[in-house]
Amino acid sequence: MNEVNLKIAVRTLKECGFVVLEDVVSRDWVDGTREVCNATLQHYMKTLSPEKREIYERTHTAMFPPICAPFSDAVAIENPFAVQVTEAAIGPDFFCTFYNTNTQWPHSGIQHVHRDFDHLFPGFPVALPIIQIIVNIALTDFTLENGATEVWPASHLIVDELPTDGEALEERAKTLPSVRTTVSAGSIILRDMRTWHRGMPNKTDEIRTMLAMIYDRPFLNAYVSATELIEIPRSTWEQMSKRAKHIFRYNPIVDRAPSRLGKAPPY
């Protein structure tokens, strides 16, 4: 994007805690990836215990996608718009060790209000600059009916002590304005990980899903758990660009063929 739009995008991310880049991924790629993603999700759900499968279907499902096409395509792992905003917001040396999907199943319920990452120094009187950005690529249209995520703008700047249980936090959230991220498929949402949000009910008969990558400032590598690392098949690694290899530099390279099966995240 041009310099003017880049400044608007970064300013919005810093002030509101999230920014939407509309229709920046080709619909053909989105449609093909959604088809593969949904098939992988269906197989993944069959590997779960009946109890866990029931829980996931009531709320939402997170899955590590297989690191092969289309999930390893450059349009996803190093999307030029997402990378451009991320570089401007947290610097060019960021890295990624977490890549998953996030799915609301048909007729699933609501999440508690939460933030994905707390302030680095809880209790510090002012919010520090962004240290983590989650990049969501919508693989279907996000509507009020199918569970478009609810977000509380500027909540990443709230630094006072917050209630730890979901019910109390939701009572607090009722006093603040929120928005729903109704976006078209192929749009990208970049969000400060400290921003309050929640998955909403999917009242339709169709899966609502997206890809999710976390981009971190380089010093956070010291905090990354080994269970969060992405195992990248060497054949995939060799096809990645120099920029993509730098972004995924802390992940192990494995000498085996890319799996076509999804895996459970480490939580």
Task: Give me the mean pLDDT over the 82-105 stretch.
Answer: 96
In this structure, what are the phi and psi dihedrals at residue 250, rounded to the nearest 5 degrees?
-90, 0
- Read off the pLDDT of residues 155-176 as tens digits, 9 standing for 90 and up: 999 998 776 667 888 888 999 9
Q: Which residues, in sequence order, are CB contacts of 104 under 8 Å at separation 6+?
A: 60, 146, 147, 199, 200, 201, 202, 207, 208, 209
∠ CA(91), CA(95), CA(98), 5° rounding?
A: 135
Q: List the domains of the chain with CATH numbers.
A: 3-254 (2.60.120.620)
Q: What pLDDT was estimated at residue 122?
A: 85
| Predicted pLDDT of residue 113 | 93
- The pTM assigned to this predicted structure is 0.94
Q: Which residue has the higher pLDDT, 262 or 108?
A: 108
Residues 6+ apart with CB under 8 A from 90: 129, 130, 131, 133, 215, 217
Count the neighbouring beta carbons within 10 Å of the beta carbon of residue 118: 10
Average pLDDT over residues 110-125: 90
β-bridge partners, 46: none
Mean pLDDT over 137-151 rounds to: 97
pLDDT for 248-261, tens place per residue?
Answer: 999 999 998 777 77
Task: Quickly state the pLDDT bin for 191 (edges 50, 70, 90).
Answer: very high
The CA distances from residue 263 to 6, 142, 165, in Å, are 35, 25, 28
What is the structure's pLDDT at 156?
96
pLDDT at site 192: 98
Q: Residue 20: pLDDT above 90?
A: yes
Sequence-ordered list of residues with C-beta below 8 angstroms from that of 7, at least 6 positions apart, any chain: none
Q: What is the pLDDT of residue 203?
A: 96
Tell whether the model's pLDDT for residue 143 goes beyond 60: yes
The mean per-residue pLDDT over the stretch 129-148 comes to 97
Mean pLDDT score across all residues of the chain: 92
Give the model's pLDDT for residue 208: 95
Pairing of strands 253-254, 232-233: parallel
Which amino acid belongs to residue 240? Answer: M
pLDDT tens by residue, 67-84: 999 999 999 999 999 999
216: left (phi over 0), alpha (psi -120 to 50) or beta: beta
At residue 267 the predicted structure's pLDDT band, cuts being 50, 70 and 90, is very low
In terms of phi and psi (left: phi > 0; alpha: psi -120 to 50; beta: otherwise), the region of 32 is alpha
Check: CB of residue 137 under 8 Å from CB of residue 25. Answer: yes
